[in-house]
Amino acid sequence: MSDARTALDEQDAPAPVAVPASTVTAVPDGPAGPATAVDVRGVSKVFTTKAGTVTALDDVHLRIAAGEFVSLIGPSGCGKSTLLRLVADLDEPSSGEIEVFGRSPRVAREAQDYGIAFQQAGLLPWRTVAANVELPLELHGVGRRERAARAADLLALVGLTDFARHFPHQLSGGMQQRVAIARSLAERPSLLLMDEPFGALDEMTRERMQTELVRLCAETGAAVVFVTHSIPEAVFLSQRVVVMSPRPGRITQVVPVDLARTAERTDDLREDAAFFAAVTAVREALHGGTPATARGVDVR
Amino acid sequence: MSATSGTAGAAGTAVTAGTAPRRRASLARLGRLLAPVLLGVAVLVAWQALVVGADLPPYLLPSPTAIAEQLREVVPLVWSAALATGANVLVGLLVGAATAVLAAVVAARSRMVDGLLSPTAAAVSVMPIVALAPALNTLFGTTSTTPRRLVVAVVVFAPVFVTTLRGLRQVQPVHRDLMRAYAATGAQTTRTVTIPGALPYLFTGLRIASSTGVIAAVVAEYFGGLQNGLGSRITSAAANSAYARAWAFVLGAIVLGLVFYLATAAVERVVARRHGTVPDVT
């Protein structure tokens, strides 16, 4: 257990690893210090299929500070999910290097440095909500009583205390996704990897979940890498939005979002002029930086 | 907050799904139950009319009333015969299913074992009972129940093996990714994800196997050996020209088959409900 992880044990305590927003923007250009959560250097990923080779990622560089919230956005096939899977050590890069808290993704995965959530909640349908949240703890040999206590805390955190004994199929999609998020926080990770976790939800549920996620991240102080298709979602959640383009997957631009500190973002922000300005900036970056053609394009 | 509003909403719809629709639903359910019963009664009446009207000899077709009369006389015998056959089915079902599940777990983990076992299962599934039963009788002796139980186990093996193996292969990619992210060992993944995920498939296989298991147990008794089961009673009654009595034992066999089928179907339903999927009961 690293110091960074133990520091996160108390959710209401101020997390020392959470770098203030003002300094976060400086970190990507600075040297890789202890405050770097993810460091991606010159990473490429080539998939070989029967039809030939596909370059999913080409020479990607990205550094994410501890406690920073970064979204990866781009059209389908731009490699944003692939990049997330490489960081999670679910796939291996063809070339280049990745470090998670200064160690290889494999070591970081085995040490449970990160929590992960996917577009599908991926709950085990034969386990109760509480047992699903306990799953990672159970696999890592945490005692029964401690597991139960931790699951109760996490379910309270996502507002599902009353549903602990329910089975996943008795829950709505949004509630299932909240369980998945609670589960991803079970090991008190200092890094959260989220692959379109709200992608399958309706717009209203989605906005509520975003607001909840902002609160959760503020409480845990974890760094987040968040893959999404939605520009407003990326802007609302992130300190930086990484814009990617497909064939081959590349980072075309990194848009800093100079809004309130992530912890202080509320629903009011969605109607703020600064929010719309940031949305426009990301949209223009996505469409090749020409404002004239970007107008009238579906914001989602 | 949102959670409580969720419950309130769910509870609200449950409550407002009030009395009138519920009464209609229970009426529909009653109709569903009543329809097959009415059909059965109609068939029995037609059967009786046919036997009496056409004056059919009992060796061709005894009348329902004659069968009922015989049944009343030999009910204790039908009961004990059904118990004997039922015990054979139960033991055979458990042995066959346990063997099949073990084989499927091994086959799911090793491609080589799968290559060995799957063709074997296919061969076992087409093995004729009529050929197997006399051979096993000679092997184990005619005073043993073992040959009958083995016949049931053999018949049960194939469907349970095939469905369980299929279930074991149905691990969702998202679950596989999760278990890798958790750095779970192979044994942990098998125990927490693969086997629980295969359970509905296993019980579907068991439901299919249960009725063929009963048929196999009854047929296996046709080839000599102990005279305590339903199959032996049917053959001896028919041999003594007591056709109505033979039919009474056939009735016992039908009830026994239904009991096994309904029991396994109920277990399947319970498991499926736990998994959030209601099976297509066919």
Averaged in consecutive runs of 10 residues, what is the pLDDT profile of chain B (282 residues)? 42 49 76 85 90 82 85 86 89 92 86 83 81 81 82 90 89 87 84 86 89 88 79 84 84 89 88 65 40
* HSE (side-chain half, CA atoms, 13 Å) at A149: 5
Here the tokens at position A194 are 């989220």
CATH number at residue B196: 1.10.3720.10
Q: What are phi and psi of B13, to 5 degrees?
A: -65, -35
State which of B55, B71, B102 marks the end of a domain.
B55
Is the CB of A163 less than 8 angstroms away from the CB of B172? no
Task: Judge contact between A70 and A39, C-beta under 8 A.
Answer: no
Residues B162, B168: Cα–Cα separation, whole Å: 10
Q: Comparing A22-26, A169-173, B128-132, which segment has the lowest mean pLDDT?
A: A22-26
Is the CB of A124 less than 8 angstroms away from the CB of B182? no
| pLDDT at res. B6 | 42
Task: Judge contact between B268 and B206, C-beta under 8 A.
Answer: yes
Length of chain A: 300
| Model confidence at A225: pLDDT above 80 | yes
Residues B175 and B231 in one domain: yes
| pLDDT at res. A107 | 84
pLDDT band, residue A263 (cuts 50/70/90): low
| pLDDT at res. B19 | 64
Give B16 to chain A, closest Cα distance, Å. Answer: 19
| pLDDT at res. B96 | 92
Is residue B87 a part of any domain in this protein? Answer: yes
Q: Comparing A10-14, A184-188, A259-263, B125-129, which segment has the lowest mean pLDDT?
A: A10-14
| pLDDT at res. A3 | 44
Here the tokens at position B208 are 């299919």
The sheet carrying A52-65 orders its strands as A52-65, A36-49, A95-100
Residues B169 and B220 in one domain: yes
pLDDT band, residue A15 (cuts 50/70/90): very low
Domain range for B38: 17-55
Is residue B7 a part of any domain in this protein? Answer: no
| pLDDT at res. A262 | 61
User: What mean pLDDT value characterizes chain A?
Assistant: 77
Give B47 to chain A, closest Cα distance, Å. Answer: 48
Residues B43 and B79 in one domain: no
Residues B151 and B172 in one domain: yes
| Model confidence at A161: pLDDT above 60 | yes
Radius of gyration of chain A (CA): 19
Task: Judge contact between A147 and A134, C-beta under 8 A.
Answer: yes
Which residues, 6+ apart, have CB-to-CB distance to A69 below 8 Å? A217, A223, A224, A226, A237, A238, A239, A240, A262
| Ramachandran class of A100: left when φ > 0, alpha when ψ lies in -120 to 50, beta otherwise | beta
Is residue B232 a part of any domain in this protein? Answer: yes
Is the CB of A120 less than 8 angstroms away from the CB of B181? no
Is residue B207 a part of any domain in this protein? Answer: yes
Residues B87 and B30 in one domain: no
Nearest to B107 by CA among B161, B170, B153: B161
Note whether A152 contacts B: Cβ–Cβ < 8 A.
Answer: no
Residues B51 and B67 in one domain: no
| Model confidence at A297: pLDDT above 60 | no
| Model confidence at A251: pLDDT above 60 | yes
Q: How many CB atoms lie within 10 A of CB B158?
A: 23
Residues B159, A159: Cα–Cα separation, whole Å: 45
SS3 track for chain A: CCHHHHCCCCCCCCCCCCCCHHHHCCHHHCCCCCCEEEEEEEEEEEEEECCEEEEEEEEEEEEEECCCEEEEECCCCCCHHHHHHHHCCCCCCCEEEEEECCECHHHHHHCCCEEEECCCCCCCCCCCHHHHHHHHHHHCCCCHHHHHHHHHHHHHHCCCHHHCCCCHHHCCHHHHHHHHHHHHCCCCCCEEEEECCCCCCCHHHHHHHHHHHHHHHHHHCCEEEEEECCHHHHHHHCCEEEEEECCCCEEEEEEECCCCCHHHCCHHHHHCHHHHHHHHHHHHHHCCCCHHHHCCCCCC
Q: How many CB atoms lie within 10 A of CB B259?
A: 15
What is the identity of the amino acid at B250? V
Task: Judge contact between A243 and A74, C-beta under 8 A.
Answer: yes
Residues B112 and B251 in one domain: yes
| pLDDT at res. A261 | 66
Give B73 to chain A, closest Cα distance, Å. Answer: 49
Tell how strand A114-117 and strand A250-256 pair up. Answer: unpaired
Closest-approach residue (CA) in chain A for B173: A122
| pLDDT at res. B93 | 92
Residues A72, A227: Cα–Cα separation, whole Å: 5
Closest-approach residue (CA) in chain A for B194: A124
Q: Comparing A48-52, A53-57, A272-276, B220-224, which segment has the lowest mean pLDDT?
A: A272-276
Residues B107, B124: Cα–Cα separation, whole Å: 16
Give A84 to chain B, closest Cα distance, Å. Answer: 12
Residues B37 and B114 in one domain: no
Write the pLDDT tens digit of every residue in A65-107: 888 889 988 888 788 888 888 888 888 888 888 888 888 888 8
Residues B27 and B69 in one domain: no
Is residue B281 a part of any domain in this protein? Answer: no
Residues B39 and B68 in one domain: no
Inter-axis angle of helices B64-109 and B230-239, nearest 10: 140
Is residue B215 a part of any domain in this protein? Answer: yes
Residues B51 and B109 in one domain: no
Residues A27, A36: Cα–Cα separation, whole Å: 8
Q: Which of A112, A114, A126, A132 to mutate to test the interface with B (most CBs of B within 10 A)?
A: A126
Q: Which of A89, A110, A120, A194 to mutate to test the interface with B (most CBs of B within 10 A)?
A: A120
pLDDT band, residue A264 (cuts 50/70/90): low
State which of B55, B77, B105 marks the end of a domain.
B55
pLDDT band, residue A12 (cuts 50/70/90): very low
Residues B45 and B87 in one domain: no
Is residue B74 a part of any domain in this protein? Answer: yes
- For chain B, the distance separating the N- and C-terminal CA atoms, rounded to the nearest angstrom, is 43
| pLDDT at res. B91 | 93
Task: Judge contact between A37 and A100, C-beta under 8 A.
Answer: yes
Is residue B212 a part of any domain in this protein? Answer: yes
Number of domains chain B contains: 2
Is the CB of A162 less than 8 angstroms away from the CB of B183? no
Residues A236, A212: Cα–Cα separation, whole Å: 12
Length of chain B: 282
Residues of B in contact with A136 (CB under 8 A): 182
